[in-house]
Amino acid sequence: MSLEELIAQADERGLAASGVACLDRCVPLLGGDDEALRPLWGTLAEGPDDGDWGEVLRQTREKLDAAGEAAGGCGAEEAELARDMLATAPLDRSGPALRQWADGCSDGALRIHLLLDGAGDVDLDAARREGCADGLSPLLAAELRRQTAVLELVAAHGAAGLRSALEVSTEGRRVLRAAVSRRSRRDA
């Protein structure tokens, strides 16, 4: 199934996990550490009415806003896309806003990886619609596979799939951090 189809069919937990995972992989651009989104991941184990999603999201925004300011606030396009993912997260973990946010996070994370890779002009909509990594740069293809894996894990295993989804995201964060470092050295 393509990434677009997986997002269209995902339940609320899957959508929230997809959005959080995309944001988690991009958290280094916000000055956040590896544990910055751990509390938000924790809210996903419960149903949307049982958790503290809204309150934890507010706290996460405050923490990452402060981290971004302390880091000097990067004006790069990649960091702006990551800030948009965080800013647009709905305080209610249900309804159409959640699907729109997950879709936007997917697109934003792919754009960030495209920019970091410097791979040129790629039709991201086609990649998401077709679910095919052929012809994509290695960094972008890996991000497409990670997004697909997170949605498949949560769809297949529910709350039990969250640990594996987090592991996929953690690996992606390391890869993004290395790509940012490599680009910084190149641009220096």
pLDDT-based confidence at residue 135 (cuts at 50, 70, 90): confident
Q: Is 45 helix (H, G, I), strand (E, B) or coil?
A: coil
Model pLDDT, residue 37: 96
Tokens of 87: 């800013």
pLDDT-based confidence at residue 180 (cuts at 50, 70, 90): confident
Averaged pLDDT, 128-135: 82
Model pLDDT, residue 75: 43
Model pLDDT, residue 188: 64
pLDDT-based confidence at residue 125 (cuts at 50, 70, 90): confident
Model pLDDT, residue 72: 45
Q: ∠161-10-117 over CA atoms, to 5°?
A: 80
Model pLDDT, residue 183: 80
pLDDT digits (tens, 9 = 90+) for 22-55: 999 999 999 999 999 999 999 998 876 656 999 9
d(CA 24, CA 175): 12
pLDDT digits (tens, 9 = 90+) for 78-120: 999 999 999 999 999 988 999 999 999 999 999 999 998 876 7
Model pLDDT, residue 130: 86
d(CA 166, CA 71): 25
pLDDT-based confidence at residue 71 (cuts at 50, 70, 90): low
Q: Which residue has the higher pLDDT, 132 or 5?
A: 5
pTM: 0.92
Calculated CA dihedral for residues 71, 58, 156, 143, nearest 10 degrees: -20
